[in-house]
Amino acid sequence: MLSYRHGFHAGNHADVVKHLVLLGLLQKLQGKDKPFTYIDSHSGAGLYDLDSDAARVNSEHLSGVVPLWQKRGTDPLLNLYLDKVSEFNSTRALHHYPGSPSLALGCLRPDDRMHLLELHPAEVEALRINMGRDTRVSIHYRDAFEGLLALTPPEPRRGMVLIDPAYEEKEDYKRVLSAVLKLQRRWPVGIIAVWYPLLARQRDRSAWLKAAIARENLPDVLTVELTVQEQDEEFGMHGSGMLLVNTPWQFREQMQATFTEVVSVLGEGARFRVEELHA
């Protein structure tokens, strides 16, 4: 039973780190004149209404994308992200927030391809509507972990996968680890990007996930983490991170520059960490 709906969280600090890293990776893929494949294992609905009842429950975007949107900046990747968000808003006020499939669609060239997986029936229906008809896009109503392996290695061979579960079940951490290892064997050139939450001390599993990946000696592993408050003992998500395999050249430096500006805009309490993972 899937209960998570991303509409309650769209545009929050977790989306900020996830979508900045995603756009940075897609930019790297666009840097070569060869087509690529983008796979989104947990796609969500693709586009979110920030005025909806769901989004207004906690208005998480107010401490995520909104301060960045209001201030803008000088970092090129941060501005690219804000420009992409603008494309879904016709006024200066922010009413819509694009999910990862919509952000990625805007980065596709004519020969690039995209596979979107989603298992929640209402979310996949919304995704179909929000993505429109585009021959470069395939939408799969199927389980992410099973579908990912069936779809790899993809054609074109260059490319990346975003693995973005809701971690509703503890088992998701083990499923992510197993998927990363299998994917890396089946698709050695693919860039793998995994989102993970940074939770209260008693519930946090990020250290376990990172240590398990580090032990495997995978190529060019980088983590990028953004936190917006101190870690609590029992409750809450104080930040989140992206774990990358096959990190592109000079991406670490780019992340340092982008997130220096992000935390300066988000202000007191915001911190970031960019680290290479080794055994």
Ligand X SMILES: C[S@@+](CC[C@H](N)C(=O)[O-])C[C@H]1O[C@@H](n2cnc3c(N)ncnc32)[C@H](O)[C@@H]1O
Binding footprint of ligand X on the chain (CB under 6 A): 2, 4, 6, 18, 40, 42-44, 99-100, 117-120, 123, 143-144, 164-166
CB-wise, 21 or 213, nearer to ligand X? 21
CB-wise, 2 or 110, nearer to ligand X? 2
Q: Given its phi and psi angles, is residue 50 left (phi above 0), alpha (psi -120 to 50 degrees) or beta?
A: alpha
**Angstrom distance (rounded) from CA 38 to CA 23:** 11
Residue nearest to ligand X (CB): 99
CB of 279 to ligand X, least distance (A): 29
Tell me if residue 134 is catalytic. Answer: no
CB-wise, 119 or 244, nearer to ligand X? 119
Q: Which of 15, 75, 112, 164 is catalytic?
A: 164
Query: Of 259, 191, 225, which Cα lies nearest the Cα of 30?
Result: 191
Query: Of 47, 55, 56, which Cα lies nearest the Cα of 126?
Result: 47
CB of 222 to ligand X, least distance (A): 19
**Sign of the Cα pseudo-torsion (229, 233, 237, 240, in order):** positive
What kind and span of H or E run contains 40? strand 37-40
CB of 90 to ligand X, least distance (A): 21
CB-wise, 179 or 213, nearer to ligand X? 179
Is-contact 63 12, C-beta < 8 A?
A: yes
CB of 217 to ligand X, least distance (A): 28
Residues with active-site annotation: 164
